[in-house]
């Protein structure tokens, strides 16, 4: 028998044994979909109705929502890079926030170019721009307020123009309880 054929047969046998052992002992443990069905099967009819009632009550209670959205701006202005983004964002939130109490904070930021005082004012202008755009949407917002961090708390270090663009932003934090 040729040595190459012999080594091929031995390699296949070892690989088959090892892969079967790995599947049975490790990989199958992570196959949760098939095991989930087996674990959750009720044994009595009463358990079925009990489980259905639990699932229905869990579905009726809306979960709390926490969202963060960031909008970017051109240098030295309150002009957004994507002007329609706030309206698009607000429109996408409408079905999600219907009938909920909403808490929101709007914070404006700048890059490190300019004086600290100027950047605080620019951050306020950017936050005000986003707040005005949100108020123009069809959602009944709570009393919206806004703040500025200016050049403080950059998202990324102001070491390149690309990073500075990322730091010229307004961040909206939304939390909602049912």
For the segment 101-160, what is each residue's pLDDT rounded down to a tens digit?
888 899 999 999 999 999 999 999 999 999 888 888 877 777 778 999 999 999 999 999
- 């919206």: which residue's tokens? 144
Q: Is the pLDDT of residue 27 over 60?
A: no
For the segment 53-87, what is each residue's pLDDT rounded down to a tens digit?
555 555 556 677 888 899 999 999 999 888 888 88
Contact 111, 154 (CB under 8 A): yes
Two tokens at 148? 């500025």
Neighbouring C-beta atoms of residue 137, cutoff 10 Å: 16
Q: Is 61 left (phi over 0), alpha (psi -120 to 50) or beta?
A: beta
Beta strands in 112-168 (DSSP E): 146-150
Question: Which segment of 6-10, 40-44, 129-133 scores lowest on mean pLDDT?
Answer: 40-44
**24: pLDDT confidence band, cut at 50, 70 and 90?**
low
């Amino acid at each position: 028998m040729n040595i190459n054929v012999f080594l091929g047969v031995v390699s296949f046998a070892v690989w088959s044994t090892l892969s079967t052992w790995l599947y049975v002992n490790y990989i199958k443990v992570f196959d949760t979909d098939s095991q989930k069905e087996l674990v959750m099967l009720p044994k009595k009819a009463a358990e079925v109705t009990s489980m259905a009632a639990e699932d229905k009550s869990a579905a009726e209670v809306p979960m709390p929502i926490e969202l963060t959205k960031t909008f970017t701006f051109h240098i030295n202005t309150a002009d957004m890079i994507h002007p329609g983004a706030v309206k698009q964002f607000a429109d996408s939130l409408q079905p999600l926030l219907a009938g909920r109490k909403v808490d929101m904070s709007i914070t404006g930021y700048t890059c490190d170019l300019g004086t600290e005082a100027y950047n605080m004012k620019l951050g306020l202008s950017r936050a005000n721009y986003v707040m005005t755009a949100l108020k123009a949407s069809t959602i009944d917002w709570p009393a919206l307020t806004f703040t500025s961090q200016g050049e403080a708390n950059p998202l990324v270090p102001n070491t390149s123009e690309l990073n500075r663009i990322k730091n010229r932003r307004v961040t909206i934090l939304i939390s909602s309880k049912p």
